[in-house]
Structure 1
Amino acid sequence: MSETANDPELTQGRARKALGQHFLFDPDILRRTALAAGPVEGRTVIEVGPGPGGLTRALLKEGAGKLIAVEADPRFAEGLEAWPEAAQGRLHVHLGDARKVDWPSLIATADGEAPAMIIANLPYNVGTPLAVDWLKAGDWRGEMALMFQKEVAERLAAEPGSNHYGRLAVLAHAVCDVHIAFTLPPGAFRPPPKVDSAVAVLRPLPAEKRFEDLDALEKVAAAAFGQRRKMLRASLKALAKTKGLDAIQWLESCDIDPTARAETLTQAEFRKLAGAFAAA
């Protein structure tokens, strides 16, 4: 089957701005995206926002064992359901909002196997909340290769001290090894977005290296970076009060300088703070 922009299977329907749709058609880029997180052959793969199916076709071509495509646009969901792979049971199409999906149940309904890979050119308007939900997911979630606005990918992969370091990076590095595989200019998409895009690859850390209480970690990181120009003793004061803690004593108990700022804290230090906060 042709993978060019002339293929009607890849071009049906125009992108809808309200759904944050920007489509890729270049076969080489689609293959790179499909394989960015590693081989998909025989694996259960989740794709969110498949649109006209360019990445869907690439994933099937590379041997995905079960492909679960979640699409909010009825036009594209109907088109994908007409593919031979859907009739054969290899492609499972779910029409709905990805933010409302019960992922373990959907994997079971599609006769998929966990851990499932997540590989997607994410709609810009839902990318960040979906990424946060998947970071908090259980063992059903495996490797991820996610196309975001470049700035969001940089925020996921950022290290302490960098301009993009914040809540997203703290959460991501608590459970995954993260790096940016490649970036793309606006002209690679149709219609072209106003910013560059990038594929972030997130591979789950071994169980013994993960920090499990992501809710506590997110609260601490959100408070710390919510007023990132302030010293931690000030930015964490309100959060500390919710647990009857004194912010300075809390920080000092974790061997952290109360006059430090959030962007200087390492993953290990954020884990200490979150652990003490949860135990208070």
Structure 2
Amino acid sequence: MTGSREPGGDAGADESDADLSASDVPAAEPAGDTEPPGDTGPVEAADPDQVTDPERLLALLWRDVRSGRRGPKPRLTLDDIVGAGTDLARDGGLHGLQDLTMRAVAKRLGVGAMTLYTYVPGRGDLVELMIDAAYGRRQRVDREAPWQERIRSHVQQTRQTYLDDPWLLTTDLWARPFGPNVLAATEEMLQALLDAGLDTFDVTTTRELLESFVFGAAGRAATAPLRARRLGRVPNAEELGRGSAAPGEAGERSFWAEHLPTADLPATKALWYGGAFRQDPAATFEAQLGRILRAIELLAERTRDR
């Protein structure tokens, strides 16, 4: 992985003497859910996206096991909280993280915000947990398949992850948490590129190319309605269903119809009138991926010939 916010751990009590997972063990809960007006919770960072407690976050990501002590059974699990946060983010679509607060998550769960802080140190930590959980919903690639199929499957699954959870597109691609699901997805890609025969430098640079490619492709799909509105038209049902906003489809006006004919843009005109901008987005994505895979094959051949 390239860059990451480092995460890590602390856990509390359950009613059992057995070892417990951090996902089920909060720090000591308050006696009730009553909160002072305007309270935003303990030690919330000035930047709400900042990780509050890296040590504890790492333990939460990996569900580290701690020795349990007798006590009341926790009313929530970490998965409950991460799931509620994810549902809120999905409700907001691409900009779903804008309205994500600990208070909003607590309301969805029917508890007070102060209760959440006994499980998760802050909003930034919760977002990191949500990112790793999103990667955990991906289908894993077949490790026995040829490397080309593994890369294709990885890229397709990653694109689908972004489309299912478009809020991921507003997070830092190069600062993913060191969680088990993020690292498992990264491992898939690294192993496939090693099996292709690339050297270590080419493995890392090619992985970054592929991750950037799918991030951009998913971003284009997710912003299709916004781009359509900026072009002065409403996206049709087909576009909304497939995440396309290729200029020139039904309903376009303004620039393409009124200004392009007289503009000094010969290359753009040639491509436009030749139908280049009317390609199906899914077919375009697959064609682009195919070209990248072919380039990897050529790079691997060059490496073997050295």
Report the TM-score, using the length of structure 1 for normalisation.
Answer: 0.30
**Who wins on radius of gyration, i.e. which is larger?**
2
Q: TM-score, normalised by structure 2?
A: 0.29
Instruction: Identify the structure with the greater strand proportion.
Output: 1
Structure of higher RCO (CA pairs closer than 8 Å, 6+ residues apart): 2
